[in-house]
Amino acid sequence: DAKTTQPTSMDCAEGRAANLPCNHSTISGNEYVYWYRQIHSQGPQYIIHGLKNNETNEMASLIITEDRKSSTLILPHATLRDTAVYYCIVRELNSGGSNYKLTFGKGTLLTVNP
């Protein structure tokens, strides 16, 4: 799986949009971009994923650059409960076996301030 690079930490004011960047310059054509987050002392939680096109769901939006070498997770109106470590993961399209696994890096600690 391709390696990802994320900032160690970011701050955001409550109510503002949080934009979390991720670089994945070695991503291959079969690899999706996934975002998970981990609120303190809890298990990771899926947020969103995408391949080429921008994606939006009830939690967030995912913007993937045209060359797919980077992406941005957007939380449109951050709340204090969004304070968490956010993980950007790239992962190959279904090929079974160990490719089900998620490779977590250290992620970005997002702190939402009142």
Partner 1 sequence: NAGVTQTPKFQVLKTGQSMTLQCAQDMNHEYMSWYRQDPGMGLRLIHYSVGAGITDQGEVPNGYNVSRSTTEDFPLRLLSAAPSQTSVYFCASSYPEAGGKQETQYFGPGTRLLVL
The conformation of residue 59, written as its DSSP 8-state character, comes to: S
**Which residues within the stretch 35-74 sit at the binding site for partner 1 (CB under 8 A)?**
41-46, 49
What is the secondary structure of 20-55 as a DSSP string? EEEE-TT--TTEEEEEEEE-TTS--EEEEEESSS-E
The conformation of residue 14, written as its DSSP 8-state character, comes to: T
Which residue type sits at 95?
Answer: S
**Which residues within the stretch 67-86 sit at the binding site for partner 1 (CB under 8 A)?**
none
CB of 14 to partner 1, least distance (A): 26
Query: Pick from 91, 108, 110, 112: which binds partner 1 (CB under 8 A)?
Result: 91
Residue closer to partner 1, measured from CB, 21 or 44: 44
Tokens at 88, concatenated: 């950007």
Residues engaged in binding partner 1 (CB under 8 A): 32, 34, 41-46, 49, 87, 91, 93-94, 96-98, 100-107
